[in-house]
Chains A and B, each alone.
Chain A
Amino acid sequence: MTGQLLSYAIWVPIVAGLIVLATGGDKHAGIQRWLALIGALLGFLVTLPLYAGFDVESAGMQFEELRPWIETFNINYHLGVDGLSVWFVILNAFTTLMVVLAGWQVIERRVGQYMAAFLIMSGLINGAFAALDAILFYVFFEAMLIPMYLVIGIWGGPRRVYASIKFFLYTFLGSLLTLVAFVYLYYQAGHSFDIQAFHRLPLGMTAQALVLVAFFFAFAVKVPMWPVHTWLPDAHVEAPTGGSMVLAAITLKLGAYGFLRFALPIAPDASREYAWVFVLLSLIAVVYIGFVALVQTDMKKLVAYSSISHMGFVTLGFFMFARGTDLNSFAVEGAIVQMISHGFVSAAMFFSIGVMYDRVHSRKIADYGGVANKMPIFASFFMLFAMANAGLPGTSGFVGEFFVVLGAVQVNFWYAVLAATTLIFGAAYTLWMYKRVIFGDVANQHVAELSDVNKREFLVLAILAVAVLGMGLYPKPFTDLMHFSVNDLIWHVSQTKLPQ
C-alpha cells in the first residue's frame, strides 16, 4: 500500500474524473457533484499518509516507485517526493477539494465535464510534482494544459477564447524548449532521462547556460516572472472561480518548483553566474507589478497581479542562495513556505471574489461598496484573507516573506529593502481594494440585495481560514519537512559541476 502512495495520488483523481465524465450530461448533475466530491476527498485522503509517513531526517527521495515505461528510449515511470515537493502534492489535492466545493452550485452547465476536468488536472499535477523522470514530468506538465485550456475556454468570461489560447500557447512555447533541453541532457547523461542523473551530470558553462535558458522559458512563463507574465491576468480574469483557484494555488507553483528541481541543480554554475538576472526580474515583479496592482479596477485582475508580485518574492528567494557568505537556506526555505502560503491565500482570495461575483455578476471594484452591511460573516473572512495577502504577522503570508527578507539581508541590503516594499504595496493594494468593496455605505441596488454566505461557502471559507491562520501561527510542520531537502539542494548548488 505505502509503496504506491504516489500512484494513488495521481490515478485516484484521474479515474474519479473519468467516472464522472462517463455519467453523461447535465441530467445527472446531482450525482456528478457527489461523485466528484467523493473522488476529490479520496484523492486528498490518499495524500495524507505522505505527510504522516514522511521521514523528516532524510533529504533523499521517499515513496519511490520505479517501473519501466518506454524501454526503447529508457523512459521510466519513476515517482518520488522529497521535502521540496511533498507539500505541493498535498496542497494540490486539498485545493481540488476546495474547487469541487466552490463550483458546487455555481456551475450549472456541463457540470460533469467541469468536475472531471479539475479531477483529471489534479492527478496530472500530482504526477508533475512526483515525477523523477524528465519525460514523465514533461508528459504530466503538458497534459495538464488540456483540461485547463478547456476549463478557461468553456466556463470562462467574455474574452475566454483569447485568454485560453494565449494561456496554452505561452506555456506550450516554454515547455517545448525544455523538451529539447531534456533530449540534450539525455545524451549527455548516457541515454537516461532520470532527473537525479541529470543532477549529477557535469556540464560545461555554455551548455549550462543554454540549458538554463531553456528552463527559464518553461518555468518563468509558468511562474510567471516579469516580462512573460502577461498571460496570467487574462487567464485569471476570464477563468471561472475554480480555474483561478487552481491556477494561482497550484500551477504557478509548478513553475517555481521547476526551478528547484531542474534549473538550480542541473545548471548550478550558470545559475550562480546569472543569478543577478533572475534577482533583477524578480525585483521588478515585486515592485513594478505591485504598482500595477494598485491601479486595477477589476478585483480578479488585482489579485492576479498580486500573485505575480508574490511569486516574484518566491523566485527572489530561490536565487538568493548564490551570494551569501555561507549557505543561505533561509531564503529558499522562506520561498517555499511563501509558495505554500500563497497557495492557500490566493485560493481563498479568488474564492471570496467568486462568492461576490456569483451574486452581483461583476468583478469591478466600482460596482461594490458597503458589502459588510449585508454580508458580515463573509466580510470577516475576507478581511482575514486580505490581511494574509498583505503579509500581516500571524497569517501564513507573513512567514515566507519574513524568511525571504531575512535571507536577502545577508546577501545585499538593498535587495532586502526593495523586496520589503512588497509589504507596503501588498497592504496598499489589498486593503484599499478591501476598503472600497466592503466598507462604506451600501453602494447600489445589487449590493443591497446581497445575502450572506451559505453553508457550503462558509465551509470552504472556514477551512481556508484555518489553513491560513494555522500556517501563520505554527509553520514548523511545514518547514520541518523541507529542511533537509533544502539544505541538501543548497549544498548541491554550491558545488561546481564544471568539468575539471
Chain B
Amino acid sequence: MTWTSLNAWVAAPEIFLFCATCAILLLDLFVSDAKRGFTHWLSLAVLVVTGALLVRGYHAAPQYAFSHMFVADPLATLAKVGMVVGVALVLIYGRSYAADRGIFKGELYSLALFSLLGMMVMASAINLLTLYVGLELLSLSLYALVALRRDSVESTEAAMKYFVLGALASGMLLYGMSMLYGATASLNVLEISQRLMVEQSGNPLLATFGLVFVVTGIAFKLGAVPFHMWVPDVYQGAPTPITQLIGSAPKLAAFAFTIRLLAQAMEGFTPEWRSMLVVLAVLSLAIGNLTAIAQTNIKRMFAYSTISHMGFLLLGILVGNVVGYSAAFFYAVTYMLTAAAGFGVVMLLARQGFEADRLDDYKGLARTHPWFAGMLLLVMFSMAGVPVFVGFFAKLAVLKAVVDLGMVWLAVFAVAMSLIGAFYYLRVVKLMYFDEPEGAAAPLSGCMFTRVVLSLNCLALLGIGLFPNDLLLLLTNAVEFSLPI
C-alpha cells in the first residue's frame, strides 16, 4: 500500500492540522507567559491555512481515502470550513477572557485545535470506526477544556458531569454501532445502507435495535431532550470561550455525523428514525423554550435556547430528503454564527473578576455601550427568528421542508414554540434598552481586532439575512452532490 493508493491528499487539511497542532504543542513549551500571543497568532495562522486547504480541495464529487474510511464530499468540506471559522472565532473572542483568568496557555490552543481535528474527522468519516474516533477526539478535548480552570468549583463540576454523561452516551453509541455491524457485517456507512436497503440481507430487527442506541447517542451529542441534562450545567460552568466552542462548531459536526448515520447508513429506516426524531424535536422545542424563560444567567439561557434550536435542526433532518437536509445544514451554519456572536458579546463585557453572565449585568447596556448593545440586539432578534435576520430564513427553510412533508401540525407547533422563545430574547433587549444601567459604565475587554471581528460577525447575521440566496444555494448544492439519490 503506497501513499498514492491511500489517496491521502484528500485528507490534506486534517493531516496539516494534526502536524501543526503537534508543532504548536511543542513550540509553546519555549514560549513564556508574556509572549503567549505568539501561540495565539500561530494558531490563527494554522486555521487560515487549514481553511485555505479545505477550499482548495473542494470537489463536487465525493473523494474517498484510506480504503473508504474517509470521504471529502461537498457537505463535509463546507461543514469543515464552518468549523474552522467557528473555532477561529472562539480563539479571537476568548483571548482577553482567557488572559484575565489565567487560562491563556498553550493547552487551550492545542486542545481547541485537537477538538477541531476531531470535528473534521467526524464530518468526513464514512466508516463507523472513523466516526467514533473523531467523536472521541472531540469529546475528550472538550472534557479537558471545560476543566481548564482547575481552581474553579463550577468548572470542575461541569467537566465531571460532562465526562460521565458523555462517556455513557459514547458507550450507547458504540453499542448501537456494534449492533449495526452485527446486522450487516460491515462498518462502512455506504455498505450498511446497501445491505439494509438494496440487498435486504441484513437483520432488520437487530438493525432497528442498533438504531435506537445510535439515535440516543446522537441526541446526547446534539443536546436534544431528554438527553439534554448536561447542557445547562456545562454551559454555565465552563469558561465562556469553551462554552462558545461547545455551543458553536460541534453542532456542525453533530449535523454531519447525523447525516452519515441516519441519512446515509440507515436510509432504509427513514420512517423509523423519523418518528424518533419527531419526539426528540417536539420535546426539545417545548422544554428548551419553556425552561429558558426561568433563567437568570445568560449562559444558562443560551444553553436552553441551544436545546430549542437543536429541536429545529432535528425538524429539518427528520424530513428525510435533500430539502430537509439542506434546511438543517443552513440552520446549523447560521446557528453557529449566531451563537458565536452571542458569546462574543458576553466575553467582551466580562473582565477580571466579573463574568457578565447574569442577565441583570446587561441592564442599560444601550446607554453605556450603544454599539455592542445594538450588536447583541441583532443576535437576539436573529435567534428569535424575526426577519430580516438570518435566523428567520433558517426557520423558514425548515418550516418549508416540514410542510412539504405534510406535517403541518409540526410546523404550527414549532412556530408556537418560537413565540415562547421570542419572549426571553425580547427580555434581553428590554434589559439593554429599557432599563437604566446599574452603576458606572464598565470598560470593554478585548482589543480593536476582536471588536471589529465581533461586529462583522453580528452584521453578517443581518447581511446574510438580506441576501441569503448564495449561502442557501451553496449548501443545497453541497447536500445534493453529497447524497447520491
Q: A interface vs B, CB < 8 Å?
A: 25, 69-73, 135, 138-139, 142-143, 145-146, 149-150, 153-154, 160-161, 164-165, 168-169, 172-173, 176-177, 179-180, 183-184, 186-187
Contact = CB atoms under 8 A, between A and B. Distances in A.
Nearest to B471: A72
A139 B392 contact: yes
B433 A150 contact: yes
Given A139-B387, A139-B388, A153 B430 contact: yes
A73 B396 CA distance: 10
B473 interface: yes
Contacts of A153: 429-430, 433-434
Q: Which residue among A25, A72, A160, A165 has the maximum number of chain B CB atoms within 10 Å of its CB?
A: A72
Interface in B392-439: 392-393, 396-397, 399-400, 403-404, 408, 411-412, 415-416, 418-419, 422-423, 426-427, 429-430, 433-434
Given A160-B434, A176-B416, A183 B400 contact: yes
Given A69-B469, A173-B419, A168 B400 contact: no
B415 A176 contact: yes
Q: What's the interface size class on B, roughly?
A: 20 to 34
B434 A180 contact: no
B423 A165 contact: yes
Interface of B: 370, 381, 386-388, 392-393, 396-397, 399-400, 403-404, 408, 411-412, 415-416, 418-419, 422-423, 426-427, 429-430, 433-434, 468-469, 472-473, 476
A164 B426 CA distance: 10
Question: What does DSSP make chain B's interface, helix, strand, loop or mixed?
Answer: helix
Given A72-B469, A154-B433, A169 B422 contact: yes
A184 B381 contact: no
Contact of B386 (A135, A143, A187): A143
Contacts, number: 86
B323 to A, nearest CB: 10
Given A138-B387, A139-B387, A180 B412 contact: yes
16 contacts: A70-B472, A72-B472, A72-B473, A139-B387, A143-B388, A160-B434, A161-B430, A164-B434, A172-B386, A176-B416, A176-B418, A179-B399, A180-B399, A180-B408, A183-B400, A186-B400
A494 B478 CA distance: 47
Contacts of A187: 403-404
A439 to B, nearest CB: 38
A153 B427 CA distance: 11
B386 A179 contact: no
A180 B386 contact: no
A142 B392 CA distance: 10
A482 B468 CA distance: 36
Contacts of B415: 176-177, 179-180
Q: Which 3 pairs of residues, A with B, have the shortest CB-CB distance?
A: A176-B415, A139-B387, A153-B434
B408 A184 contact: yes
A179 B396 contact: yes
A161 B434 contact: yes
Nearest to A155: B434
Given A153-B433, A183-B396, 11 more contacts: A72-B473, A73-B397, A139-B388, A145-B386, A149-B426, A164-B430, A164-B434, A169-B419, A169-B423, A183-B399, A184-B408
A120 B418 CA distance: 25
B77 to A, nearest CB: 20
B386 A142 contact: yes
Contact of B403 (A149, A154, A172, A184): A184
Contacts of A160: 434
A73 B404 CA distance: 13
B202 to A, nearest CB: 35
Contacts of B386: 142-143, 145-146, 172
Contacts of A164: 430, 434
Nearest to A21: B374
A70 B430 contact: no
Contacts of A70: 393, 468-469, 472
A173 B385 CA distance: 12
A72 B476 contact: yes
Contacts of A145: 386
Q: Which residue, B386, B387, B472, has most C-beta atoms of chain A within 10 A?
A: B387
A476 to B, nearest CB: 38
Given A70-B472, A72-B473, A143 B419 contact: no
A25 B381 CA distance: 23
Contact of B422 (A72, A172, A186): A172
Contacts of A184: 403, 408
Contacts of B370: 25
Contacts of A186: 400, 403
Contacts of B396: 73, 135, 179, 183
Given A142-B386, A143-B387, A169-B422, A183 B411 contact: yes
Contacts of B429: 149-150, 153
A172 B412 CA distance: 13
Contact of B473 (A71, A135, A143): A71
A188 B381 CA distance: 30
Contacts of B408: 180, 184
B419 A176 contact: yes
Nearest to A24: B370
A145 to B, nearest CB: 7
Contacts of A176: 415-416, 418-419
A186 B401 CA distance: 11
A190 to B, nearest CB: 13
A183 B402 CA distance: 10
